[in-house]
């Protein structure tokens, strides 16, 4: 254990030359905790099949691919690759199950959703361990955020299942039909819950495709569907890469595609579905702004910046990856941010003290590293103040931030999807607004100020699907989430999210 303790904030760390000292309050040191490894084990099979019509089946091609632990690059299991004919079988199972499932009274569908929610709670720690092993996120996040929120999502939609007429008065809500759902790797289990729970509550049947690097918890959800006696074919899970997703998108007997992922793939799906009758909702990327006014509580705002960009290693679609700070408090914010960054623990995701775990894949690490190089080559200044030593094996990126960033720099315009922050300044609320809105994305934003009037004014003018005020990255199943512009369309959560699964 080192003996130095980071005592927290300092109002000004400029030296005589005016240069900022960003080594942290302890001069780069930090206090250490003894390791606190998670002790729960999650059994993992050597191979997993596809979940079609209530059973795990081998892929027709026999093709499998490995899923890795990104913190040590060890193979966890072999996952089935679903071919066009496997996707066809899954869609057929969902089609066959539709009349019975959609014909059940809403209260009965609700009972199944409650059962799933309770079973998630019972298996919560095991699910959290699996999520962390497969995805690299810290166990404290999987345990305290991803899995409880997923259970909450099923509880919430269980409550709606027999109240759809009240949700949409004067209408006769009917399910859309067979839904193809495609999800990314950053919140694998939570995204599965966001997709499956409202679709089931509304009487639809499902073919879900998880991301290729993080299939394990979705396959556990398939087991849970078996355990609660969900009728066969109501939920089908096909694993595989982009080709499997594409087969689902192109399948003529799918009534709706719900996609969460990158804007690039979202655009391809929009083109593929445009000439069809398929309904489409898209939850895509972002480059969200976190705006700090001089009258904000600066310590809280710095916590909000940290929560906004370093949570889940920055693998968050709504990450506050552009921070705009009012000029008069810029140096203070940068210094405090440097202190805070120096105290974050990067390392073994299975340690309960870890703040930032592993980057999800080698490919994603490569993308982040390219942006780090571009940031420097375009003239911004990178601040690497975190003193942690990361393991040799695995995919690691320590949290950092850039200052001296111009709006034209790639790191200020493009989604990096890693623990990399662009800090910029502004003088007036109008300037903050125009700079925050100057992006093709429109997913989320944060505003930090003491003034209620400024809060409401900014919130009404920011082009973002979600605006957090004096907080960041807060999620609730009752609160609709989604973007506009190139961040997609459609909402998930709340009454708005239900509408996407009803005619």
Contact window for ligand NAD (CB under 6 A) among 41-49, 142-150, 217-225, 481-489: 481-489
Tokens of 347: 């390392």
Nearest CB to ligand NAD, comparing residues 167 and 272 = 272
Please state, in angstroms and rounded to a whole number, the distance separating the CA atoms of residues 333 and 424.
11
**What's the min distance (Å) between Cβ of 482 and ligand NAD?**
7
- The least distance separating ligand NAD from the CB of residue 172, rounded to whole angstroms, comes to 29
Residue 261 lies near ligand NAD (rule: CB under 6 A) = yes
- Dig out the tokens for 275 from the structure: 């000439």
Binding-residue total with ligand NAD (CB under 6 A) = 30
Sequence-distant (6+) residues with CB within 8 A of 345 are 30, 33, 351, 353, 354, 355, 356, 388
CB of 246 to ligand NAD, least distance (A): 4
**Window 372-411: contact mask with ligand NAD (x via CB under 6 A):** ----------------------------------------
Is 342 in a helix, a strand, or coil? helix
Q: Which helix (H) or strand (E) holds 264?
A: helix 263-273
| Binding segment (CB under 6 A) for ligand NAD, from list 59-67, 196-204, 259-267, 371-379 | 259-267
How many Å from the N-terminal Cα to the C-terminal Cα in the chain? 61
Residue 260 binds ligand NAD (CB under 6 A): yes
| Among 438, 440, 443, CA closest to 491 | 443
Nearest to ligand NAD of 419, 483 (CB atom): 483
Of 168 and 484, the one with the shorter C-beta distance to ligand NAD is 484
Q: Which is nearer to ligand NAD, 26 or 260 (CB)?
A: 260
**In whole angstroms, what is the distance from residue 2 CA to residue 465 CA?**
44
Catalytic residue flag (residue 317): yes
Is 156 an interacting residue with respect to ligand NAD (CB under 6 A)?
Answer: no
Closer to ligand NAD by Cβ: residue 353 or 437:
437
Which residues are CB-neighbours of 43 under 8 A, at least 6 positions away? none
Tokens of 430: 């109008």
Examine residue 417 and tell whether it contacts ligand NAD (CB under 6 A): yes
> What minimum distance in Å lies between the beta carbon of 268 and ligand NAD?
5
Q: Give the whole-angstrom CA distance, residue 269 versus residue 280.
A: 9
Classified as helix, coil or strand, 249 is helix
Q: Other C-beta atoms within 10 Å of 47: how many? A: 11
Q: Is 209 in the site for ligand NAD (CB under 6 A)?
A: yes
Question: Which candidate in 317, 318, 397, 400 is catalytic?
Answer: 317
Neighbours of 475 (CB within 10 A): 16
The tokens of 144 are what?
A: 């305290």
The yes-or-no answer on residue 66 being catalytic is no
Conformation bin of residue 130: beta by default, left when phi > 0, alpha when psi is -120 to 50: alpha
Of the residues 131, 141, 212, 283, which is catalytic?
A: 283
How far, in Å, CA of 386 to CA of 368, rounded? Answer: 17
Residue 489: CB atoms within 10 A of its CB come to 17
225 binds ligand NAD (CB under 6 A): no
If one asks whether residue 86 binds ligand NAD (CB under 6 A), the answer comes out as: no
Q: How far is the CB of 484 from ligand NAD (least distance, A)?
A: 11
Q: Which of residues 436-465 bind ligand NAD (CB under 6 A)?
A: 443
Of the listed pieces 127-135, 151-159, 277-285, 468-476, which binds ligand NAD according to CB under 6 A? 277-285
- CB-nearest residue to ligand NAD: 245
Tell me how far apart the alpha carbons of residues 274 and 251 are, in angstroms, rounded to a whole number.
Answer: 13
Contact 280, 482 (CB under 8 A): no
Residues with active-site annotation: 283, 317
| Site residues for ligand NAD per CB under 6 A | 182-186, 209, 211-212, 241-242, 245-246, 249, 260-262, 265, 268-269, 283-286, 317, 415, 417, 443, 483, 487-488
């Amino acid at each position: 254990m080192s003996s130095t303790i980071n005592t927290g904030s300092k109002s000004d760390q400029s030296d005589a030359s005016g240069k900022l000292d960003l080594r942290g309050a302890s001069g780069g040191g930090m206090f250490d905790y003894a390791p606190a490894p998670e002790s729960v084990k999650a059994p993992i099979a050597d191979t997993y099949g596809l979940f079609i019509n209530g059973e795990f089946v081998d892929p027709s091609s026999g093709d499998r691919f490995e899923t890795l632990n990104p913190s040590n690059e060890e193979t966890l299991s072999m996952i089935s690759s679903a071919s066009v004919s496997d996707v066809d079988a899954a869609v057929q199972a969902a089609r066959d199950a539709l009349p019975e499932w959609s014909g059940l009274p809403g209260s009965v569908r609700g009972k199944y959703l409650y059962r799933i929610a309770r079973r998630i709670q019972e298996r919560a720690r095991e699910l959290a361990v699996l999520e962390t092993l497969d995805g690299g996120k810290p166990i404290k996040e999987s345990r305290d955020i991803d899995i409880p929120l997923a259970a909450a999502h099923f509880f919430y939609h269980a409550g709606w299942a027999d109240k759809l007429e009240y949700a949409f008065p004067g209408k006769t809500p009917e399910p859309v039909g067979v839904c193809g759902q495609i999800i990314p790797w950053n919140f694998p289990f939570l995204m599965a819950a966001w997709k499956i729970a409202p679709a089931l509550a509304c009487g639809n049947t499902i073919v879900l495709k998880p991301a290729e690097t993080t299939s394990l918890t979705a396959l556990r959800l398939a087991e849970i569907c078996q355990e609660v006696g969900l009728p066969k074919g109501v939920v089908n899970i096909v694993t595989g890469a982009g080709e499997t997703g594409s087969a689902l998108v192109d399948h003529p007997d799918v009534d709706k595609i719900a996609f969460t992922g990158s804007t690039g793939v979202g655009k391809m799906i929009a083109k593929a579905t445009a000439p069809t009758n398929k309904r489409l909702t898209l939850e895509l990327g972002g480059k969200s702004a976190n705006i700090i006014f001089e009258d904000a509580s600066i310590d809280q705002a710095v916590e909000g910046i940290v929560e906004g960009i370093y949570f889940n290693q920055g693998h968050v679609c709504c990450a506050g990856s552009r921070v705009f700070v009012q000029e008069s408090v810029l140096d203070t914010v940068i210094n405090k941010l440097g202190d805070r960054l120096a105290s974050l623990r990067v390392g073994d995701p299975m340690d309960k003290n870890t703040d930032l775990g592993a980057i999800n894949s080698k490919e994603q690490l490569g993308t982040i590293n390219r942006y780090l190089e571009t940031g420097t080559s375009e003239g911004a200044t990178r601040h690497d103040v975190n003193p942690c030593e990361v393991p040799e094996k695995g995919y690691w990126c320590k949290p950092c931030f850039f200052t001296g960033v111009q709006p034209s720099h790639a790191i200020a315009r493009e989604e990096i999807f890693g623990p990399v922050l662009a800090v910029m300044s502004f003088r007036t609320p109008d300037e903050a607004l125009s700079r925050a809105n100057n992006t093709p994305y429109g997913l989320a934003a944060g505003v930090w100020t003491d003034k209620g009037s400024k809060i409401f004014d900014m919130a009404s003018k920011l082009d973002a699907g979600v605006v957090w005020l004096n907080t960041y990255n807060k999620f609730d199943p009752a609160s609709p989430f989604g973007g506009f512009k190139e961040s997609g369309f459609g909402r998930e959560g709340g009454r708005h999210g239900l509408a996407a699964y009803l005619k």
